[in-house]
Structure 1
Amino acid sequence: MKRSLGLASVLLLFMVAPCLAGFFDDLVREVLPSPTQQDSLDNSTIVKGLKEALATGTERAVTEVAKPDGYFGNQLIKILLPDKIQQAADILGRIGYQQQVDDVVLSMNRAAEKAAPKAASFFGDAIRQMTLEDAQGILQGGDTAATRFFENKTRPQLFAAFKPAVARSMDQLGTARAYKEMIGKYDVSPLASLAGIPSLDLDTYVTDKALDGLFIKVGEEEKKIRTNPAARTTDLLRKVFGK
């Protein structure tokens, strides 16, 4: 029991931020155990504590990617053109159309940033529905066990919710129009490849890349509390990790 208690305490504030906002406030109040319970954690309280930690971590990840330049300003998750289309974009850049290429890339990332807040409710549902078995798998898993849990539980639903939002944003931003104009310029370029440009479903492509980036950020938040002493900002974390 002591070993289980130690693991639960380590993960209790896994990915904890100083404060919560919006949607996640209610979720955290719902699942956070009271201070008097923390000294005698049973399985039920372990699950509650882990849910609180996951709620905080996912809130931080969603907030990070949803802000301006959340995708565009982060080279790890910035959405770029597919390789074969990037080859055409490179040619266009060399003959004076770099601004058009840049506009397409920027608008794809802006669409992902606008869609990102939709992830909050799906993460919340996955957390509320977490079972003891799920919690044990996360406690006993590796550095990204929680991230894998979220991706397995929510990715199909997130894709269905993100894609219409991405499509609307790209329509408002003129992404499809800018992309077609970019490809049109390539088609008439004297440097254009005889092989032509592969077709691309922009809505699907940007949605998939947006979700890839979101889960990368969730994974970063998960690893931070597990491995970085500077992230252990509460008395409980200092007590657990101080030795």
Structure 2
Amino acid sequence: MPLRRLLFLFLPFLLLGCTSQQINQTLNTVLNGGLTSADIASGLKEALQIGAREGAEELAKPGGYFDDLTYRILLPEEVRKVTDRLQGVPGFNNLEEVILKKINQGAEDAATKAAPIFVDAIRQMTIQDAVGILKGNNTAATSYLEQSTTQALTGEFAPVINASLDKYDANKVWRDAATAYNNFPLTRQEVNTDLGAYVTEQALNGLFKKVALKEIDIRQNVSARTTELLRRVFAQQDAVN
């Protein structure tokens, strides 16, 4: 007879005299293969922290955004209209290439600040959240992180992005170009001279995409579970699937 069935046969006798809290804890441990809900929460947090840290580090490397077409931040349509129109203007003939390189450099620089922000948010995850996420789809943890932290991360990330854009002169290059465009005769609609919000949004999208890939890897690839706790927690997911 399987061990799991034997445990359920003898469990009522083992729990005689226990409090309701002790009974719930024991049942929870049996149902989760020896893992408590707290173990599951710790495992999920560990997985997310690994994914967030590795994802941020990869994107923070020189060329982390720009060299990978999956993550490269492209110019918004209104910016491309400006760069196309200014191609023949002295000083602006390679404007698109310059801005594209600079905004991605800015995002790469800002990504160095992202990991601690993610880790702090992950620590706020409740046990109930973690148990539900373990039973969710391959990117359930990343989706939770995105939904629960995007607003706060934007508030923290935007100043870093703007500082990085200033560091690489991207804001100045764009302001000069946008101002020149807006002063053109017959310009129908002025363009926004502020790149910060757009680059911040795109940088965070890339970061969440990278974290999602890390989560999928941990869920599907046993060798990516680099600690004993990760192996035990995600073994429960494997058993369900």
Is TM (by shorter chain) over 0.5?
yes
- Pair 1:66-2:60 in alignment: yes
Q: Is the 8 A contact 1:58 1:218 kept in 2?
A: yes
Q: Secondary structure at the match of 2:144?
A: helix
- Pair 1:169-2:158 in alignment: no
Q: What are the equivalent positions in structure 2 for 1:101-120 lying under 5 Å apart?
A: 101-120=96-115
CA distance in 1 between counterparts of 2:86 and 2:122 reads: 46
Provide the aligned C-alpha RMSD in A.
Answer: 3.1
TM-score by length of 2: 0.71
TM-superposed CA distance for 1:110, in Å, is: 1.0
Q: 2:218 aligns with which of 225, 231, 238?
A: 225
Q: Is the 8 A contact 2:60 2:111 kept in 1?
A: yes
Q: 1:122 to 1:181 in 2, by over 3 A?
A: closer
Larger radius of gyration: 2
Q: 1:211 aligns with which of 165, 186, 204?
A: 204
Q: Secondary structure at the match of 1:68?
A: coil
Match of 1:84 in 2: 78
TM-superposed CA distance for 1:42, in Å, is: 1.7
Q: Deviations over 1:47-84 (max 9, x none)?
A: 22222222111111111111111111121221122112
Q: 1:94 to 1:215 in 2, by over 3 A?
A: farther
CA distance in 2 between counterparts of 1:201 and 1:100 reads: 16
**Higher mean C-alpha displacement, 92-101 vs 165-174:** 92-101
Q: Is the 8 A contact 1:57 1:218 kept in 2?
A: yes
- Pair 1:195-2:185 in alignment: no
Q: Deviations over 1:157-189 (max 9, x none)?
A: 211111111112222221122113333554677
- Pair 1:153-2:132 in alignment: no
TM-score by length of 1: 0.71
Q: Is the 8 A contact 1:84 1:197 kept in 2?
A: no
* Aligned pairs, number: 203
Which structure 2 residue ranges, 5 or more long, are not aligned? 5-31
Q: Secondary structure at the match of 2:198?
A: helix
CA distance in 1 between counterparts of 2:152 and 2:217 reads: 27
Q: Which residue identity is paired with 1:203?
A: G
CA distance in 1 between counterparts of 2:177 and 2:154 reads: 27
Q: 1:94 to 1:42 in 2, by over 3 A?
A: same
Q: 2:128 aligns with which of 117, 128, 133?
A: 133
Q: Is the 8 A contact 2:37 2:131 kept in 1?
A: no
